[in-house]
Amino acid sequence: MHIETKWRLGQIILLTLLAVPQVVLAQYQSSIDDKQPNQDQFEPQTAVNQQSLGSSVPHDMPLKLIQVGEADMDVLWFDVYLAKLYSLDGVYQPQRFPLMLDIEYHRDISAQELIDATIEQWQKNGIAAAEINQIKSHLISAWPDVKQNDRLSFIIHNDQQAEFLFNDKPFYQLADQRFSEAFIGIWLSEKTTHPKLRQQLIGANK
């Protein structure tokens, strides 16, 4: 074989050997990329220690919460719901977060009934009509129709961030301090229309 031909053949073989690892590497990298979540769609969820609240827990609470107290809400002869309050150490202190109110319903209630009842309680707690008009829009998004044994949890993470969970699944998030204070105040405000229920929730009867 001619020397020049052998030289060119050697170059082709060398280039082929150098190219193969690059092709394999590109294919391997492509397979890895296919397994990665799309960052535009991926929303990280924080794990929760289920032992902190028992078998039924909200799944994106980052910290262990301890029950402060619980109370049944009854209207006439109707058993409406069971409410439970949780904090970091099992002690309630105003304006200390995270704080969670968990409500388990004992009867079917429509979203509109819940919205109307919430606004009525705000009015009884002395919240001005102008403020109610500014914050009530959250209720339309936050309140679902509930069936017997459904659970709705309201978690205040800090001064600004809060969220609703429906049967332990993230349902509605918000950053509105006025709403959070007004909503949790239905149960915890000193102006509440159910002072005995408040006492039980905050553990004052222990």
Q: Taking a C-beta distance cutoff of 8 angstroms, is the pair 67, 86 a contact? A: yes
Residues 17 and 10: their CA atoms lie apart, in Å, by: 11
Residue 61 in this model has a pLDDT that exceeds 60: no
CB atoms within 10 A of CB 67: 17
Q: What is the pTM of this model?
A: 0.70
Write down the pLDDT at residue 54.
Answer: 33
Write down the pLDDT at residue 175.
Answer: 97
pLDDT tens-digit readout, 176-197: 999 999 999 999 999 999 999 9
What are residue 78's DSSP bridge partners?
Answer: 75
Residues 121 and 85: their CA atoms lie apart, in Å, by: 19
Average pLDDT on 107-124 reads 96
Q: Taking a C-beta distance cutoff of 8 angstroms, is the pair 68, 86 a contact? A: yes
What size, in residues, is the chain?
206
Kindly report the backbone phi and psi dihedral angles of residue 114, in degrees, each rounded to the nearest multiple of 5, phi listed first. -65, -40
